[in-house]
């Protein structure tokens, strides 16, 4: 029995209901077989008046089979191009049928799913928030290779199509209708198929309804073709603007731009061939393999609860106490209330707590101004947040999150004075970025109910939460924290206890290595710029200014109190830089009188004092060494975290490094980077860096173990 159910009614309308054997309809070998047979049957069908493509699943069509794409190897290009050409021929036959073909979109139609819709004459969608439409292939290092680039450019015009192609924008049916990506919406699922058939009957005998715009003799691309004067300026500036965004590290956007321009320049069939070659090239790149592995497979693994205890029932958070209404606490209060959770926002005074609540009101007002929030919803969210200075208001919380300064004594005092207000079985979470959870849990009467819940700033925007298990943290506490993170729409990674855990510990090596090179005499601007050149969001000196050298100074004091005299086990150039900037010159960072840089009137300039103190004109370090030092330090620290079981899984390491640290997107995360760089090659390069710059670059033993076992990091 075919996975495409073929039904012809009395009006001559054939409904193809896609119901493939997997959980979703996907563009794989099964699809190609079914589509080929279906198109052949439609071409031979007598008395045909129209065709409707529908789905038996909640998702209309999920796109390409990423396992197939991930399995692609160099040398298979001809076979891959042949497969693409075959699939495209099915779509071409579909749109050449002499009757209208309608796609009845009942759920998400993304990637290959929307490419199928583009090959139909009329696109009809259920107007529901669960329905997403778009071509997000660029986010996985690919391009729409089933005709998506060519058809969207022909449908919308080059300039209008580019944001959907280059940014991978996914839109609601309402937005898709406004953009011209679909033709009509219906308000209920029950209306979808009847309306699709009604459209066909209304256009019976209307040949124009059965011809795609680009197949009509008088067709002109909306906005003009690539040689039109109107687009000339756009096309001249587009490559430069793209390079500014990708820094030349992501090949997919460049390929997409090239294919889109050719689609607006060449005839339809020639542009299709360009598109096929573009996808064939991209599918073999390490960047695509990295992005597919991490952003699809490992992200799904993390979000589906692979690191959550399996035998613990779902743990719903109903009332959360947030201690400290500062930058972190006010953000935690906001995301919790947005998820419908009652929030007790406590600070040392009601005024301070009210100020923290005002942050939520400010964000809600912004959402209202953009049409994304109703006054009723705003009032509902604000009504869930109670600002207070009274501990007794915490009574009955099933989760309390402490978000005060990074000071062990202060955190312990708060734990011992407010833990009693938790409900029976309630969980205590500490939002700490560096302090060991096992040590903090000593102040709790029930250390098994104590866990680290590390948010990232700003909480309302940053998607990651790092959950840290102390030595006595129970499975129930972990499950509760994990479920809370998902409840507030965050991605949780789970790590074991250590100073700095995973994200802070690894992130610290980035600006530490930057400081080392400054002390060695490398031009500070060069160090900072080459940090951006590897794909980090900002350079190591800039990020240290943002984090603040004053915070580093306080952290070093805390480490000293804990008996940690040297965090990274070697001469600490960071300490020298912090002493020079903060202690000697009163420069604690961007918001503390400047740091490496001065910040005046919106301008950022390198502070001359840094150059005078450290720069040595005779130091000539190769750019590649600088880039590798900044990247490899972080990768090596991540490997050490995995080796010592601070990181529990590779997926948590990759997702955490990108979403929490800002690892370059093209790497797929710091552990995935090693896979496509090559384990033996990585080991060799570590040896070169260690010989030249110090033992901190020695390759962790776990790499040699993987090489010996013939394994990679999965």
Place of tokens 């050298």: 549
Give the separation between CA 646 and CA 102, rounded to whole angstroms.
53
Give a three-class secondary structure readout of 478-534: HHHHHHHHHHCCCEEEEEECCCCCCHHHHHHHHHHHHHHHHHHCCCHHHHHHHHHHC
* Angle, CA 659 vertex, CA 654 and CA 661 arms, to 5°: 85
Give the separation between CA 534 and CA 661, rounded to whole angstroms.
14
Query: Cβ of 611: how many Cβ atoms within 10 Å?
Result: 14
Check 454, 544, 591, 592 and give the catalytic one. 454
**DSSP string of 184-245, one letter each residue:** EEESSHHHHHHHHHHHHHHTTT-GGGGS-GGGSTT---TT--TTSHHHHHHHHHHHHHHHHH
Residue 450 pairs in a beta bridge with 428
632 closest CA partner among 516, 506, 515: 506
Give the separation between CA 686 and CA 699, rounded to whole angstroms.
5
Q: Is 454 a catalytic residue?
A: yes
Helix (H, G, I), strand (E, B) or coil at 7: strand
**Do 574 and 515 touch, CB atoms closer than 8 A?**
yes
Place of tokens 């925007």: 461
In which region does residue 669 sit, left (phi positive, over 0), alpha (psi from -120 to 50) or beta (all else)?
Answer: left
Give a three-class secondary structure readout of 88-135: HHHHHHHHCCCCCEEEEECCCEECHHHHHHHCCCEEEEECCCCCCEEC
422 closest CA partner among 389, 453, 454, 444: 444
Residue 458: is the preceding peptide bond cis (ω within 30°)? Answer: yes
Place of tokens 């009845």: 104
Looking at the annotation, which residues are catalytic? Answer: 454
């Amino acid at each position: 029995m075919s996975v495409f159910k073929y039904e012809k009614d009395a009006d001559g309308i054939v409904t193809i209901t896609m119901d493939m054997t997997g959980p979703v309809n996907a563009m794989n070998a099964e699809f190609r077989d079914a589509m080929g047979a279906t198109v052949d049957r439609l071409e031979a069908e007598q008395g045909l008046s129209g065709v409707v493509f529908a789905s038996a699943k909640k998702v209309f069509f999920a796109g390409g089979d990423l396992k197939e794409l991930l399995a692609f190897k160099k040398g298979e290009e001809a076979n891959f191009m042949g497969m693409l050409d075959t699939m495209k021929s099915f779509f071409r036959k579909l749109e050449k049928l002499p009757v209208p073909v309608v796609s009845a979109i009942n759920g998400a139609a993304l990637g290959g799913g929307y490419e199928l819709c583009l090959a139909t004459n009329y696109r009809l969608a259920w107007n529901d928030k669960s329905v997403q439409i778009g071509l997000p292939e660029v986010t996985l290092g690919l391009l729409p290779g089933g005709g998506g680039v060519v058809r969207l450019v022909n449908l919308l015009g080059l300039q209008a199509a580019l944001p959907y192609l280059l940014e991978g924008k996914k839109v609601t049916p309402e937005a898709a209708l406004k953009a011209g990506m679909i033709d009509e919406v219906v308000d209920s699922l029950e209306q979808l198929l009847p309306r699709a058939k009604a459209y066909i009957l209304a256009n019976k005998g209307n040949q124009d309804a059965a011809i795609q715009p680009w197949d009509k003799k008088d067709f002109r691309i909306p906005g003009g073709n690539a040689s039109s004067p109107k687009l000339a300026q756009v096309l001249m500036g587009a490559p430069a603007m793209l390079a500014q965004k990708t820094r030349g590290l992501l090949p997919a956007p460049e390929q997409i731009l090239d294919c889109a321009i050719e689609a607006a320049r060449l005839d339809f069939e020639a542009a299709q061939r360009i598109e096929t070659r573009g996808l064939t090239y991209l599918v073999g790149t390490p960047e695509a393999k990295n992005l597919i592995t991490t952003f699809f497979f490992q992200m799904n693994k993390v979000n589906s609860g692979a690191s959550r205890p399996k035998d613990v029932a779902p743990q719903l958070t109903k009332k959360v106490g947030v201690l400290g209404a500062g930058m972190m606490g006010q953000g935690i209060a906001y995301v919790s209330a947005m998820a419908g959770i009652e929030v007790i926002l406590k600070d040392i005074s009601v005024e301070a707590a009210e100020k923290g609540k005002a942050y939520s009101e400010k964000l809600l007002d912004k959402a209202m101004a953009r049409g994304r929030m109703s006054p009723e919803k705003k009032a509902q969210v604000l009504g869930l947040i109670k600002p207070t200075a009274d501990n007794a208001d915490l009574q009955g919380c099933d989760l309390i999150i402490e978000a005060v300064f990074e000071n062990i004594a202060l955190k312990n005092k708060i734990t011992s004075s407010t833990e009693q207000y938790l409900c029976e079985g309630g969980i205590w979470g500490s939002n700490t970025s560096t302090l060991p959870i096992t040590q903090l849990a000593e102040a709790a009467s029930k250390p098994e109910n104590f866990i680290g819940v590390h948010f990232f700033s700003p909480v309302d925007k940053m998607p990651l939460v790092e959950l840290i298990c102390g030595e006595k943290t129970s499975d129930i506490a972990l499950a509760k924290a994990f479920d809370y993170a998902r409840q507030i729409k965050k991605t949780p990674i789970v790590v074991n206890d250590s100073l700095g855990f995973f994200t802070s510990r690894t992130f610290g090596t980035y600006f530490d290595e930057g400081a080392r090179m400054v002390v060695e005499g490398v031009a500070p601007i060069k160090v900072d710029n080459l940090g951006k050149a590897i794909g980090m969001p900002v350079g190591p000196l800039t990020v240290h200014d943002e984090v603040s050298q004053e915070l580093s100074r306080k952290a070093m004091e805390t480490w000293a109190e804990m008996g940690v005299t040297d965090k990274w086990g070697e001469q600490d150039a960071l300490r020298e830089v912090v002493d020079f900037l903060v202690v000697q010159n009163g420069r604690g960072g961007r918001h503390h009188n400047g740091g490496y840089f001065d910040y005046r009137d919106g301008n950022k300039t390198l502070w001359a004092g840094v150059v005078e103190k450290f720069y040595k004109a005779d130091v000539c370090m190769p750019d590649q060494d600088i880039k590798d030092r900044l990247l490899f330090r972080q990768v090596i620290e991540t490997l050490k975290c995995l080796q010592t079981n601070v990181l529990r899984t590779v997926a948590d390491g990759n997702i955490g490094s990108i979403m929490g640290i800002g690892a370059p997107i093209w790497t797929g995360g710091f552990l995935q980077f090693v896979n496509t760089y090559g384990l033996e090659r990585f080991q060799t390069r570590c040896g070169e860096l260690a010989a030249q710059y110090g033992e901190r670059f020695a390759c962790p033993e776990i790499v040699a173990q993987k090489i010996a076992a013939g394994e990679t990091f999965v």
